Amino acid sequence: MQTTIKSENLDFNKVWLMFQETDKKFQEMIAEQRKLDKKSRELENLFTSKWGELIETLVEGKLIEILNERGIPVNQTTRRYEVKYINKNYEFDIIAINGTDAVIVEVKTTLNVRYVKDFIEKMKDIKEILPIYRPFNVIGAIAYLNHHEQAEKFAQSKGLLTIRATGDSAFITNSENFKPKSW
């Protein structure tokens, strides 16, 4: 069904009012879309950060053991180490140390070449960013759950340790005689 508007009933003022009303509704729609976009980004960031924390936990759970097996005798780890250097904020996912060696670990859910390049750039200034580690032998490592083609080989070619997160780090912490509730 098509509605026809009689042109004799319309004058400039009526058209102008209709235009303003339409514009107002359009602006309201834009504002609502911006709110939805913001909420969507917040939810995505929440999911991404929690997933990243899970991968960090998997890596950290085995890190001392696997580094010791490779002849790097670290004995403690620190997660989410934050520092400000030349007005720029840096976050280091995991740092493993022993007093003479420090292994700086960047953790990614899915490793790609761009992430490797970014980490290498950060590592170039590591002893300026983290002056406490100047006397240390600092090693760079990149850990991941999955990787894009060539990213792992690229990281290795740049001298980085590559660590793949797996399910090995999960275990039950309840005592042997614990009986779980049946739901």
End-to-end CA distance of the chain: 57
Measured between alpha carbons, how far is 120 from 113 in angstroms, rounded to an integer? 11
Contact between 155 and 116 (Cβ < 8 Å): yes
Higher pLDDT, 49 or 123: 123
Tokens 């960090």 sit on residue? 56
Mean pLDDT of the chain: 82
pLDDT value of residue 131 = 93
pLDDT value of residue 143 = 87
Q: How confident is the model at residue 109 (pLDDT cuts 50, 70, 90)?
A: confident
**For the purposes of burial, counting CB atoms within 10 Å of the CB of 141, is it exposed (0-12), middle (13-18) or buried (19 or more)?**
buried
pLDDT value of residue 167 = 63
Q: What is the pLDDT of residues 120-170, one digit of tens each?
A: 999 999 999 999 999 998 998 888 888 888 998 888 888 888 888 876 553
Q: How confident is the model at residue 42 (pLDDT cuts 50, 70, 90)?
A: confident
Q: How confident is the model at residue 177 (pLDDT cuts 50, 70, 90)?
A: low
How much of the chain, in percent, has pLDDT values that exceed 90? 37
Q: Is 18 a residue whose pLDDT tops 80? A: yes
